[in-house]
Amino acid sequence: MSQHHKEARFNPKLRTDMTPQQIAEMFDDFADDYDEEVLEKGLRAHELVGDFLATTYPESDRSSLKVLDVGAGTGFVGLKLKALGFTYVDALDPAQKMLDVAKTRNVYRRLICAFMDKNRVEEIETDFYDCITATAAFNEGLVPCNAFAQMIRIVKPGGRIVFTIPQKNINNAVEYRDRLLPLIDKLAAEGAWEVTAIPLADGQLAKSLGPGILYSLKVNVSEKYFEI
């Protein structure tokens, strides 16, 4: 494992010149230590997203809802959702070794090794999922803004994209600053989705990570809506 990869795990500035493939390799290298290191940092975005889904979907609906966990990593969201009664949850992640750990948890139906980006994820049918989740995946070098077109394709009209993002990533990440919020606002203004934005205080996403936002984007349109 390169020293650069190890240092880049928690240092977004070191990821600005990495390719998506290098990012996936970085997470492959991280897979064995990921749980211990991030739990030590108090990561609990998966708890927040799980609790949000639990307030959104009544218990009686949960076993029939199809959920895709984007940037699933080692499966924290899957574990939380299973405990809440969501039984149809798939995982997508470009780092096979992270998915290998997730598989051992027996909480996902399918594990899809792919990037969520501007490219079509061939393994996934259009309008297939009721809900997409993503935690700790909106960070420098990870899920890009143009992935929303693909997420809109695979989520059913009326479905939701639910994710968390630290405020400092919105402000500082090259991919998101000046782009993410204008994009969310533009699609909202055009009626493509309805936005719920829940402010999160310092400590809610992880220890000392600063404030953040939990977004729920209720998608009103199909893939044909537009090219982002």
Ligand X SMILES: C[S@@+](CC[C@H](N)C(=O)[O-])C[C@H]1O[C@@H](n2cnc3c(N)ncnc32)[C@H](O)[C@@H]1O
Residues 6+ apart with CB under 8 A from 58: none
Output the smallest distance, CB 189 to ligand X, in A. Answer: 26
Interface residues toward ligand X, by CB under 6 A: 20, 23-24, 27, 38, 45-46, 70-73, 76-77, 92-95, 98, 115-117, 135-137, 142-143
Q: Which residues, listed in sequence order, are joined to residue 20 by a DSSP beta bridge?
A: none
Query: Which is closer to ligand X, CB of 76 or CB of 86?
Result: 76
CB nearer ligand X, residue 19 or residue 60:
19
Q: How far is the CB of 54 from ligand X (least distance, A)?
A: 17
Q: State the nearest-atom distance from the C-beta of 137 to ligand X, in Å.
A: 4
How far, in Å, CA of 226 to CA of 151, rounded?
Answer: 13
To ligand X, the closest distance from the beta carbon of 168 in angstroms equals: 15
* List of residues 6+ apart from 19 with CB closer than 8 A: none
Residue nearest to ligand X (CB): 73
Minimum separation from the CB atom of position 60 to ligand X (A): 27
Report the residue number, 107 or 142, with the smaller CB distance to ligand X.
142
Task: Give per-residue burial for 130-152: e unless 16+ CB within 10 Å, then b.
Answer: bbbbbbbbbbbbbbbbbbbbbbb
Residue number, 137 or 217, with CB nearest to ligand X? 137
Residue 167 or 220 having the CB closest to ligand X? 167
* CB-based contact 163:135 (threshold 8 Å): yes
Contacts of 118 (CB under 8 A, 6+ apart): 144, 146, 147, 149, 150
Q: How far apart (Å, rounded) are the C-alpha atoms in residues 87 and 84?
A: 9
